[in-house]
A and B are shown apart, each in its own frame.
Chain A
Amino acid sequence: EIVLTQSPGTLSLSPGERATLSCRASQSINNNYLAWYQQKPGQAPRLLIYGASSRATGIPDRFSGSGSGTDFTLTISRLEPEDFAVYCCQQYAASPSPTFGGGTKVEIK
């Protein structure tokens, strides 16, 4: 099983600042099959990024994904008030079980 480790656990930032979130895999993720989700309390996860760097439909361009192999990054270029949430990564390269990271909480400083 591929284990995903996200860091930091919590990121305290102000609106307008840049957020950089890390997702590290225990082994290389083939085809860059890595997705990022945003989750707010009591809500379903929302797909942001797939294929490590492709934005999902309707996702603002302030969200970007990068990386390959074992190291991946989600960047939010300028935090908007609605961006304060938990972000988690997911790999879907390893059969038969996709796995998720533990999440990074982006909170208002």
Chain B
Amino acid sequence: QVQLLESGGGVAQPGRSLRLSCAASGFSFSSHGMHWVRQAPGKGLEWVAVISSHGRTMVYADSAKGRFTISRDNSQNTVLLQMNSLRDGDSAVYFCAREAHWGQWYFDVWGRGAPVTVSS
């Protein structure tokens, strides 16, 4: 069935790095833009980044610009989020999400999330 599965979450000190991975299955991965959305404890959802279906276009939220890098490997049906210079405010559950319709950034498939805690 259609599925997204995140991995790579964990605990990191401020200033350090973590890399999240999202494995897709059950659909034509290379046909969809892929996004990362996060949710801090007790807070609402916050969009983080998108990568286009072909992997040539990436857009970031202001909170992620210059620190996070989204990438994808269509041969492996995987999307990555490299997070550098982590801050306390980056602590959240990070969801991988599938863009439902080309150019319309709403999300019809979500992973279960990868928890990230930034703490000294």
Task: Give the interface of A toward B (CB within 8 A).
Answer: 33, 35, 37, 43-47, 50, 56-57, 88, 90, 92, 96-103
Contacts and interface: CB of A to CB of B under 8 A. Distances in A.
Interface in B66-81: none
B28 interface: no
A90 B108 CA distance: 12
Nearest to A102: B44
Contacts of B105: 92, 98
Nearest to A96: B59
Contacts of A44: 95, 110-113
Given A44-B113, A99-B47, A100-B47, A35 B95 contact: no
Nearest to B43: A102
B108 A88 contact: no
A94 to B, nearest CB: 10
Contacts of B106: 33, 35, 47, 50, 90, 92, 98
A44 B45 CA distance: 11
